[in-house]
A = this chain, B = another copy of it.
Amino acid sequence: MPTAATPDEVDYVSGRTRLFGIVGDPIVQVRSPEMFTAAFRRRGMEAVLVPLHVLPADFDACLDGIMRLRNLDGLIFTIPYKLRATKLASTIGPQGQLVGAVNALTRDGNGWKAEMFDGLGCVEALRKRGIALQGRRLMLLGAGGAGSAIAVALAHERPAFMRLHDVDRSRADALAGKVRAVSPQTNVEVAEPAIDDIDVLLNATPTGMLDDARLPFAVSALPQRLIVFDAIVKPERTPLIALAESCGCTTVYGREMMRGQIERMVQFFTHA
């Protein structure tokens, strides 16, 4: 661990610091830097996780360069790179293979292994709140990397019904096939958003992130019985969460999903 800091030095970074990064565009909304760095520190690791703002046109060259850093041990991927990151890995873990997207990459011998933890984090967050999913009726908005991971993890919980929606219908169709493969007894529908018959509403689109004041679908009120989850971490209280709370719904925040996956991801990064 760092020696005592003198006034002109900080004690949280040095030449021995091992690096981790979160890759995304935009990047200012991410919460991984403060949360993972704290998790590393609790374990006595000299490590920091920094934001890496990569534009889509730079992704290939940027990642090629970054992954050559000898003191870089792992990367997290967020919007819009969870699908694209799969091609950086020499091996992909079971969740990542099922989903076709990954959110974590770490060294594995001379190569890199990847895995997807978003879905497990979401299910863990709901479980911690005592929310069981078996036999429930769910609607998931967004079939990108995070949405796919969440859908597949939810499928393992054997819900009775899942309605999937994405602005790109073909992505939702492909995801429906993955959900059916995991849970044949779940009735899966690709359709426009509708909540009258739904118990749990989950948002995995970026709509509502940062200064985006929009709701992820057109709605003016939500039934009080609805459980509403939003994968967005900034703002914590998204427009959807705010509407849900004003309607008396139970709400589950994106940060709870992050908490639900941090320990698993730190184990993945440290090969524990």
Contacts and interface: CB of A to CB of B under 8 A. Distances in A.
B9 A35 contact: yes
A33 B50 contact: no
A61 interface: yes
Interface in A9-39: 9-17, 19, 22, 25, 27-31, 33-35, 37-39
Copies of this chain, tallied across the complex:
2
Interface residues of A, number: 49
Interface string A46-69: 001111111100100111111011
A84 interface: no
A50 B8 contact: no
A93 to B, nearest CB: 25
Contact of A53 (B2, B35, B63, B71): B71
Interface string A215-236: 0000000000000000000100
Given A2-B34, A15-B27, A66-B69, 14 more contacts: A9-B35, A10-B38, A10-B41, A14-B31, A14-B33, A14-B34, A15-B31, A17-B50, A27-B71, A50-B50, A53-B71, A54-B68, A62-B65, A65-B66
